Amino acid sequence: MIEIQYIFELFGTVVFAISGALAADERQKHDWFGITCFAFITAIGGGTLRDLFLNSYPLVWIADMNVIYAVFAGIFLAGIFYRYFSKLRTTLMLFDTLGIALFTIVGLEKAQSLGANDFISVMMGMFTAVMGGVLRDILINKTPTIFVEEIYATACIAGGIIYLVLDSFGVDRNINFIVSGAMIAIIRIITVKFNLSLPKFYK
């Protein structure tokens, strides 16, 4: 099962790299170097920030070259299937949703294993999932989408809380991983489909 999770993590990395490469180029024509940067930032930015905050070294992508290969695989796929992906925004959204679902639980579990309390663990799970996209958006100089649209990060927080609740009831960890990950994906998909959003702070 550890191996399956590891494969899921690398798969999530590929998906986020694709998403980073495509998102960057919506705004401007970038060269190969720029696209590579954006793919890396989107895929490994969240985990890096989490590990800096939790003092967890070496960073995942410095210790494990497979993460690097996964990012390059994503860039390669984005380059090959560019026209295909950009027509299929729904497909891309589904991949991205899978990515945040996997990364939220992976990040939460890592924070817990480093001794973080429940609140911080949920926060770190959400960070792992969304901060790569936030850093990418800062670099391409737009207000990060998570601040202006959709229940993106909130789905991750909800999934993290579900994970902790099920865990406290003694639910098997592997089942819990799948259930709470699936909840994140379902919340995300429903809110996008029905165009739901959180209430505005001020009327």
Residues found near its own copies in the complex (CB under 8 A): 21, 24-25, 28-35, 37-38, 48, 52-55, 57-59, 62, 65, 68, 79, 82, 116-117, 119-120, 134, 138-144, 146-148, 151, 153-154, 197-202
Q: Residue 46 CB, nearest distance to its own copies (Å)? A: 14
In the complex, least distance from residue 171 CB atom to its own copies, rounded to whole angstroms: 25
Distance in angstroms (rounded) separating the CA atoms of residues 30 and 58: 31
- Which single residue is written with the structure tokens 């992976």? 106
Q: Would you say 57 or 194 has its CB closer to its own copies?
A: 57
Nearer to its own copies, 141 or 195 (CB): 141
Of the two residues 115 and 170, which places its CB atom closer to its own copies in the complex? Answer: 115
- Distance in angstroms (rounded) separating the CA atoms of residues 10 and 70: 6
The residue whose two tokens read 């930015």 is 45
Least separation in angstroms between CB 118 and its own copies: 10
Min CB(133)–its own copies separation in Å: 13
SS3 170: coil
Cα separation of 69 and 58, whole Å?
18
Both tokens assigned to 92: 């891309």
Reference 183, options 199, 160, 149; nearest CA is 160
**C-beta of 38 vs 177, nearer to its own copies:** 38
Q: Please, which residue, 174 or 197, has the CB nearer to its own copies? A: 197
Q: Which residues contact 130 (CB under 8 A, 6 or more apart)?
A: 46, 100, 146, 152, 153, 156
Distance of closest approach, residue 1 Cβ to its own copies, in angstroms? 29
Handedness of CA 72, 77, 80, 81 (dihedral sign): negative
